[in-house]
A and B are shown apart, each in its own frame.
Chain A
Amino acid sequence: MAQETLTTPVPTEFKIKKSFMSSTFMRMLKYTAVRLVTIAITITIGIYLTIMIANMGGYVDTIMRNEIRDNTTQSMLANPAFRNLAPEVRAKLIQEKIASQINNLGLNQPFAIRSVRYLKNALTLNLGRSLQMTSDQGSKEVRLILLERLPATLLLTGTSELFLFFSSVFIALSLSRKYGSWLDKMIIVLSPTSASPPWFYGIFFILIFAAVFRILPFGGLVDSPPPENQLDYGLNILKHLILPAMSIVVSAIFLSIYNWRTFFLIYSSEDYVDMAKAKGLLTKDVERRYILRPTLPTIITNFALLVITLWTGFTITETVFLWPGLGITLFRAIGAYDTPVIVGSTIIYAYLLAITVLVLDFVYALVDPRVKVGSGGSK
């Protein structure tokens, strides 16, 4: 009996908790749905705009058609097998071949219809085949072309950006503790140097280390011919990596440290930090619990945005260093009017961005108790 009376309140409490949870759950669901729909619409419009620009609103078709006509006529006229044919027959043959090629590339449909098909393919990540570019293996699949370049880009952006991020956050944290020191002042003085982009520092580094001292290569991924030994091959790539990675790091590090340091300083001047210090907590604990904890959402946002920029690569830095990554591929694709490759690399970036933005919303709610998902945070 006594036990029963004791257990009876439990279900009601459980019930309350459940209804509270379900309301949170419903709110979250609704919020997620709205968020998903807006992001989907955003991506669709963004990708459609990119498709329109990459096709010059259909003008690229004209270029393509003329190119096909030119190339086919040239190759047919040059082919000795067709030389003995009567001119009318040959002309007809050429026309047929042109028509079939145009048909193959789908150029016989009006652009407005095709653009919608492109959009559908892009959104379903059906990247299709490139118009001209091929991967080193000889494939025309856009997916393969992009995948082949991905490791080189990730190697460069990954090493440099991750190093940049973590070193600047930690240096900034230790600087914010002893601000006013000569090192701190030096960072302030040096921070305007970040006005120059990485490729710009790349030029200077090439000049110093490649042209004058001749200790590091001018550019590329490996020596040619590449070393046969696996270990030597890896070391060789690392040797080529030093200058481009250094350019990216040096061009951004001072401003990055300065920004983080200012950010941490603003947070360390809060009253609760003074209170914690007054309580006599260890510096390490103050840093971790009272400075890093409230700044975590910002740190995470920056990190997430950084991770997705890794994908885009550094077009100009890659061009200057002849680094065979995605950036240089995109640049070459544009030069070759190869719209499937352009759209392909854009769509992947767009998806990564969307996923990151969506995930960030929830991560905020996890790490920052002040933020509640769906309770009109953006208003």
Chain B
Amino acid sequence: MKTLKNTFREFLRYPSAIVGMSIITLLLGIAAYALISIPYKEAVRLWRGGEDVWYQNPKYAAPSWYNFFSSKKAPVSFIVNTTDGTLEKVVTPVTDEITTVDVNYSFDYEYDGFPQEMIIYFSPSVTEKFPFAVIKWITPDGREIKIANMAVEFNSTYRFSQDLKLQAKLKTEEIMQALFSDPQAATPTVLKGKYTLVVNGTTFEQGNTLDMQFVLHGTLFGVAGTDKYRRDLLLPLLYGTPIALAFGLLAALGTSFLTMIIAALGTWYGGWVDELIQRITEINLVLPFLAILIMVGTFYSRSIWLMLGVTILLSIFSGSIKTYRSIFMQSKESSYIEAARAYGASNSRIIFSYLIPRMIPLLIPALVSSVPAFVFLEASLAVLGLGDPVLPTWGKVIDDAWADGALYHGLYYWVLEPAVLLMVTGLGFAMLGFALDRIFNPRLRDI
């Protein structure tokens, strides 16, 4: 107990240990939050979902906090909906059958750029007679533009930019510019102020309702932005955390403990067991590690758990088995082992209760320091296109971004967000491992 306390006090002397520990705690917190808030199946469904899941999001939208750093404010996407009350509708019965549904939505538009698109999704409940809707647009300077008159079918979508009639009427294909720009300006400039969208709907059957959703696709979206497939990048960033941690920690734990146990067995039993272990280590040295992982990924399966297994298998018989072996050789001869042997302790008791526990102080720093390598290995495989096909991981985001030439097109957020997370994770474990190494290896302490 006292030694533990001392170790802890020692631990606090190292700023890098404290920083590393806080980073790891934070990551564990994020991982727990991600796993609790999004169930595994749901995460896979969302990540694999196409337009049907993500239709409300803009493509290639940078995160909203871009505006903090930029003097030119880009439009942030938003969604308002009559079903959850963010969009207010006024229902007035006219006769028994006819009811009017009016939506009058005003919003401030104080950005310097034009939005990508505006969309209205109608969801009426009707049996035969379709409702009718009139859409109008009122600009800050009081101009009223008639947008469309349309019959609302079961699930109809109205996209402003794709309405050919509206294009003809406004005499331009750039509908967004026409709706948002200042008519006095020579070049297209946004007219800032309060815009109003008016939808006057009429239903023709008793008990009919007309709900709608108004979506503005800006060039910015949410906390993390979106990718080519309109997916919210917050999902892979959040969900990639437990996956990266699980992969890194399991691989590090599996590799270090198995390596140590095998080294202990080899040294204890000696003879052909030791010889065999040494030869396997040498053969393993010849095998190309990354190439074999790539082959497994290409030929068999890209499942992350299979990759994890192969990684552990190939890393067990690594050079560190020789380091452990030489240390076990020394402790094998020490007097307490002699004593254990004298009172008749069994082989397994000596190995697992006496030999291995003495190595734990050496093992822990090595284990913690090896985590980043495995976390990055997963990302590296993803960058080679061998990431897990169903799971949202950080590496997969980088791979998608890379395949789409994100840096070339200036979509820096797409690469930077997962990269920064990877780097922070790597740094956290590396800093902690570094400090632990100094705490447990007194020889390094003064150096």
Please give the residue numbers on chain A whose beta carbons come within 8 Å of chain B beta carbons, in ascending order.
Answer: 38-39, 41-43, 45-47, 49-50, 53-54, 56, 59-60, 179, 189, 191-197, 199-200, 203-204, 206-207, 210-211, 218, 262, 265-266, 312, 315-316, 319-320, 330-331, 334-335, 337, 342, 345-346, 349-350, 353-354
Tell me the bound Cα distance from A207 to B413 in angstroms: 11
In the bound complex, residues from chain A placing their C-beta under 8 Å from that of B384 are 315-316, 319, 331
Tell me the bound Cα distance from A312 to B294 in angstroms: 14
**In the assembled complex, B447 has its CB within 8 A of some CB on chain A:** yes
State the 3 A-B residue pairs at the shortest beta-carbon distance, nearest first.
Answer: A46-B286, A192-B430, A195-B372
In the bound complex, residues from chain B placing their C-beta under 8 Å from that of A206 are 407
Decide: A334 near B422, CB < 8 A? Known: A42-B286, A195-B372, A195-B427.
no
- The interface bits of chain B over 261-299 (1 if a CB of A lies within 8 angstroms of the residue's CB, else 0) are 000000000000000000100111111101110111011
Name the distance in Å between A377's Cβ and chain B's nearest Cβ.
Answer: 13
Tell me the bound Cα distance from A315 to B290 in angstroms: 8
B420-447 contacts to A (CB < 8 Å): 422-423, 426-427, 429-431, 434, 443-444, 447
In the bound complex, residues from chain B placing their C-beta under 8 Å from that of A196 are 372, 376, 422-423, 426
Tell me the bound Cα distance from A41 to B407 in angstroms: 48
Q: Is B407 a contact of A207 with CB atoms below 8 Å?
A: yes
Decide: A200 near B419, CB < 8 A? Known: A42-B283, A320-B383.
yes
**Identity of the chain B residue whose Cβ is nearest the Cβ of A196 in the assembled complex:** B426
Decide: A210 near B290, CB < 8 A? Known: A46-B283, A179-B447, A320-B383.
no
Decide: A211 near B288, CB < 8 A? Known: A59-B299, A262-B447, A334-B294.
no
**Identity of the chain A residue whose Cβ is nearest the Cβ of B412 in the assembled complex:** A207
Is the contact region of chain B dominated by helix, strand, or loop, or is it mixed? helix
In the bound complex, residues from chain A placing their C-beta under 8 Å from that of B415 are 203, 207
In the bound complex, residues from chain A placing their C-beta under 8 Å from that of B419 are 200, 203-204
- The interface bits of chain B over 172-204 (1 if a CB of A lies within 8 angstroms of the residue's CB, else 0) are 000000000000000000000000000000000
**Identity of the chain B residue whose Cβ is nearest the Cβ of A316 in the assembled complex:** B380
**Identity of the chain B residue whose Cβ is nearest the Cβ of A55 in the assembled complex:** B299
| Interface residue tally on B, bucketed by range | 35 or more
Q: Is A203 a contact of B286 with CB atoms below 8 Å?
A: no
Q: Is B299 a contact of A195 with CB atoms below 8 Å?
A: no
Tell me the bound Cα distance from A45 to B422 in angstroms: 37
Decide: A53 near B295, CB < 8 A? Known: A192-B16, A196-B372.
yes
Name the distance in Å between B412's Cβ and chain A's nearest Cβ.
Answer: 6
Pick from B284, B288, B380, B444: contact of A312, CB under 8 Å:
B288
Tell me the bound Cα distance from A56 to B292 in angstroms: 11
Of listed B284, B410, B426, residue having the most chain A CB within 10 A:
B426
Q: Is A50 a contact of B287 with CB atoms below 8 Å?
A: yes
Pick from B286, B294, B443: contact of A266, CB under 8 Å:
B443
In the bound complex, residues from chain A placing their C-beta under 8 Å from that of B245 are none
Decide: A353 near B299, CB < 8 A? Known: A42-B279, A315-B290.
no
- The interface bits of chain B over 369-382 (1 if a CB of A lies within 8 angstroms of the residue's CB, else 0) are 00011001001100
Q: Is A200 a contact of B422 with CB atoms below 8 Å?
A: yes
Please give the residue numbers on chain B whose beta carbons come within 8 Å of chain A beta carbons, in ascending order.
Answer: 16, 279, 282-288, 290-292, 294-296, 298-300, 372-373, 376, 379-380, 383-384, 398, 402, 407-408, 410, 412, 415-416, 419, 422-423, 426-427, 429-431, 434, 443-444, 447
Of listed A46, A196, A207, A354, residue having the most chain B CB within 10 A:
A196
Pick from B286, B296, B376, B444: contact of A197, CB under 8 Å:
B376
Q: Is B299 a contact of A60 with CB atoms below 8 Å?
A: yes
Known: A42-B286, A192-B426, A353-B285. 19 other contacts (CB 8 A): A46-B286, A47-B286, A60-B299, A191-B430, A192-B16, A192-B431, A192-B434, A195-B429, A197-B376, A200-B419, A200-B422, A204-B419, A211-B408, A262-B447, A330-B288, A330-B294, A349-B288, A350-B286, A353-B286
In the bound complex, residues from chain B placing their C-beta under 8 Å from that of A350 are 286
Tell me the bound Cα distance from A147 to B372 in angstroms: 34
Q: Is B288 a contact of A346 with CB atoms below 8 Å?
A: yes
Q: Is A262 a contact of B444 with CB atoms below 8 Å?
A: yes
Q: Is B426 a contact of A195 with CB atoms below 8 Å?
A: yes
Q: Is A330 a contact of B291 with CB atoms below 8 Å?
A: yes
In the bound complex, residues from chain A placing their C-beta under 8 Å from that of B16 are 189, 192
Name the distance in Å between A131's Cβ and chain B's nearest Cβ.
Answer: 14
In the bound complex, residues from chain B placing their C-beta under 8 Å from that of A42 are 279, 282-283, 286
Question: Could you pull out 18 A-B pairs where Cβ atoms are within 8 angstroms?
Answer: A38-B279, A38-B282, A42-B282, A46-B286, A54-B295, A179-B447, A195-B376, A196-B422, A197-B376, A200-B379, A203-B398, A265-B447, A266-B447, A315-B291, A315-B384, A319-B384, A334-B291, A346-B288
Tell me the bound Cα distance from A265 to B410 in angstroms: 46
In the bound complex, residues from chain A placing their C-beta under 8 Å from that of B288 are 50, 312, 330, 345-346, 349
Name the distance in Å between A355's Cβ and chain B's nearest Cβ.
Answer: 12
Q: Is A200 a contact of B287 with CB atoms below 8 Å?
A: no
**Identity of the chain B residue whose Cβ is nearest the Cβ of A319 in the assembled complex:** B384
Q: Is B380 a contact of A49 with CB atoms below 8 Å?
A: no
In the bound complex, residues from chain B placing their C-beta under 8 Å from that of A316 are 290, 380, 383-384
Pick from B282, B295, B423, B430: contact of A200, CB under 8 Å:
B423
Of listed A189, A195, A335, residue having the most chain B CB within 10 A:
A195
In the bound complex, residues from chain B placing their C-beta under 8 Å from that of A41 are 279
In the bound complex, residues from chain B placing their C-beta under 8 Å from that of A335 are 298
Name the distance in Å between B93's Cβ and chain A's nearest Cβ.
Answer: 59
Pick from A38, A53, A200: contact of B376, CB under 8 Å:
A200
In the bound complex, residues from chain B placing their C-beta under 8 Å from that of A38 are 279, 282
Q: Is B408 a contact of A218 with CB atoms below 8 Å?
A: yes
In the bound complex, residues from chain B placing their C-beta under 8 Å from that of A315 are 290-291, 294, 384
In the bound complex, residues from chain B placing their C-beta under 8 Å from that of A330 are 288, 291, 294
In the bound complex, residues from chain B placing their C-beta under 8 Å from that of A56 are 299-300
Of listed A38, A197, A342, residue having the most chain B CB within 10 A:
A197
Name the distance in Å between B390's Cβ and chain A's nearest Cβ.
Answer: 20
Tell me the bound Cα distance from A53 to B295 in angstroms: 7
Tell me the bound Cα distance from A210 to B407 in angstroms: 9
Tell me the bound Cα distance from A48 to B21 in angstroms: 45
**Identity of the chain B residue whose Cβ is nearest the Cβ of A192 in the assembled complex:** B430
In the bound complex, residues from chain A placing their C-beta under 8 Å from that of B423 are 196, 200
